[in-house]
Structure 1
């Protein structure tokens, strides 16, 4: 079963090598690696092109886009794997057997999606865990409590995107949350929680880097909740409060 992994990047020369290495060194043999660059500087592009020449499973494109969700949508459109996942340019897979473990979960449990846990790590010292996002098995009422799986850990059958659509570009920060609500509320879909750290994410993501972005994220979260007919402002509040227990003392 082929797995398509998508990385969207823009001027990521400081982190993209570690990101790519974590994908390219996976033990799973059938990975299609799609890198969607947004028209980066020469240094980033040189790293991308040099690596792409060494690995025939890399599909590389570089052109201006409308932001990360547009880039991810472009990647999904190129994907030919039965399973699709993302590794963002500041992130890296937690170990070399992550994809093998995910595929085994798909095969064993016959589900539409698999998700797991995520570590937020320090920007320079990636061994230092700042925030530990431990998920849990899915039940529908969790959505009303502001729960969501960590999106970078979520691997889905490609057929899910074909049927339920891509990321909505009206959202600048919360398109992943809107998409998750859209698919997790479908009664005919099944998901498996893998109690394993899937991704390590460097701190400093767009949704949390300043108060303005946090407020915009909350507004977009509320719009996603209303659009998908799940919850209200209390759901947004619970979603934000639930993150506090993830931080390491």
Structure 2
């Protein structure tokens, strides 16, 4: 049985990025999907584009109004989500990896057999100004160490439709969301890594450009969610600062440090 996918896309004054995201959806060979776009009342022509898009595409709905930031907009998208099997957060500038991504995703989910997992996830392609690198998702889950994959490459079963982002966090609410989602799992089999690249991630995003503030939020998040002690959280924060600086000054070495083995025992 085929799966229906739903996407929550948020944007603000990023018309070119939004058009790229929408184009990646419209190019999919797999057609059983819907999307709601939450725009924060942009001033760059986005509302006019959205009006035309909604008129032309019956599976895309739009909202353009002021919000209280990224995660408030994501919550608005969740409130407007229609019936589906799995949903994903794909923000303006980000895109699905290829036109066959949803077809491959549907096949892989169906190939798992049994009950549908609560969360499925895969690898991501990180895009920089002059190159792109495939970043494998972790097949070992250690929440205290951080997110085990890019949230654009993670699909949640519709049973998570009531879960909301915590607006206390300005940059780390996606990490907090995933921590709480994983804590809701009934069995380890409810979380499944699929050996496929799902998304393309725009590395010019807010969380990347303000990484130090995000590391500080991550520190508080780990302690609040009782993932580890204050001392251990401080050590993880120091590790993140080192990796951030390593990425800045020697990205090849950073990749070597972060490289992981996939299900087929191949390093991407």
RMSD over equivalenced CA pairs, Å: 2.2
Segments of 4+ moved more than 4 angstroms: 239-246
Q: Partner residue of 2:21?
A: 19
Structure 2 unpaired stretches of 5+: 254-268
Displacement of 1:146 in angstroms is 3.4
Map Cα deviations across residues 139-198 of structure 1 (whole Å, 9 max, x no partner): 4xx223335221111100121232xx2110110000001111112234515211122221
Inter-CA distance 207–84: structure 2 relative to 1 (3 Å threshold): same
- Listed as ranges, the matches of 1:106-185 within 5 Å are 106-109=109-112, 110-123=116-129, 128-129=131-132, 131-139=133-141, 142-162=142-162, 165-185=163-183
Structure 1 unpaired stretches of 5+: none
- Listed as ranges, the matches of 1:63-142 within 5 Å are 63-80=65-82, 81-109=84-112, 110-123=116-129, 128-129=131-132, 131-139=133-141, 142=142
Supply the distance in 2 between the matched residues of 1:19 and 1:208 (Cα, whole angstroms): 19
Displacement of 1:60 in angstroms is 0.7
Higher relative contact order (CA 8 A, sep 6+): 1
Q: Partner residue of 1:203?
A: 203
Query: SS state of the match for residue 29, structure 2?
Result: coil
Q: Partner residue of 2:52?
A: 50
Query: SS state of the match for residue 119, structure 1?
Result: strand
Displacement of 1:108 in angstroms is 2.8
Inter-CA distance 147–42: structure 2 relative to 1 (3 Å threshold): closer
Q: Is the 8 A contact 2:124 2:135 kept in 1?
A: yes
Q: Partner residue of 2:4?
A: 2
Q: Partner residue of 1:37?
A: 39
Q: Which has the larger radius of gyration?
A: 2
Query: SS state of the match for residue 161, structure 2?
Result: helix
Q: Partner residue of 1:237?
A: 238
Supply the distance in 2 between the matched residues of 1:99 and 1:224 (Cα, whole angstroms): 32
Q: Is the 8 A contact 1:76 1:84 kept in 2?
A: no
Displacement of 1:61 in angstroms is 0.9
Query: SS state of the match for residue 56, structure 1?
Result: coil
TM-score scaled by length of structure 2: 0.81
Aligned length: 238
2:211 paired with 1:214: yes
Supply the distance in 2 between the matched residues of 1:116 and 1:175 (Cα, whole angstroms): 20
Supply the distance in 1 between the matched residues of 2:17 and 2:55 (Cα, whole angstroms): 19
Inter-CA distance 156–187: structure 2 relative to 1 (3 Å threshold): closer
TM-score scaled by length of structure 1: 0.86
